Amino acid sequence: MIGKLIAKGIFKISGWKTSGGIPPEVNQCIAIGAPHTSNWDFIFTVCALTIFGYPAKILIKDVFFKNPLIGWFFRATGGIPVDRSKKNNLTGELKKMIESGKPIYILFSPEGTRKRVQKWKSGFYHVALDCNLPIAMGFLDYPNKRAGFKHLFYPTGNKQVDFEAMAKFYTPDMAANPLLYNDKFYLKD
């Protein structure tokens, strides 16, 4: 992660503040970050995680790691490369990290892209269920310049009900680009 002083400096200059947090007794969880409609989302998210002091791992498209000029930066900020073009054992690798028992927060951007999507990717949900972990509802609220975590969500295994409950928390007006956020991010199976 970037240094706490640098993160605080970026927040001070840009007028952002942290909000909420993950209870201190929770040392492992799946975190989601939404809405994700801008390249700035990554910067503000990494700064907030650093200020909070969370040992986060962030899932990021693998192409960012292939460029030697910026790949080091994504690794240094806790990035885990994800190759979305083929099936891989990412879930298994994440489970190993969790089963180690070490404190870890694995951050997913369920939209998977900054473009408008019809539905969220559900990998975060399945990892949380399989590992019996809560989901920390992370957010970026651009109009109010706040970044943080509202509350923990405990998945029930009923995906439709759980996604409907999570959908109530996020709104398009929180996004940097509201037209790119679809607040109906689940599809009935």
Q: Domain limits of the chain? A: 4-171
pLDDT number for residue 188: 59
Q: What angle (nearest 5°) sits at the alpha carbon of residue 42, between those of residues 38 and 48?
A: 125
CB 140 within 8 A of CB 45: yes
Domain 4-171 fold is: Glycerol-3-phosphate (1)-acyltransferase (3.40.1130)
How do residues 72-101 score in pLDDT, each as one tens digit?
A: 878 887 788 887 667 777 777 888 888 888
How do residues 101-142 score in pLDDT, each as one tens digit?
A: 888 898 888 776 777 777 777 888 988 998 899 999 999 999
What pTM was estimated for this model as a whole? Answer: 0.85
> Is residue 51 over pLDDT 80?
yes
35 preceded by cis ω (within 30°)? Answer: yes
- Average pLDDT value over all residues in the chain: 86
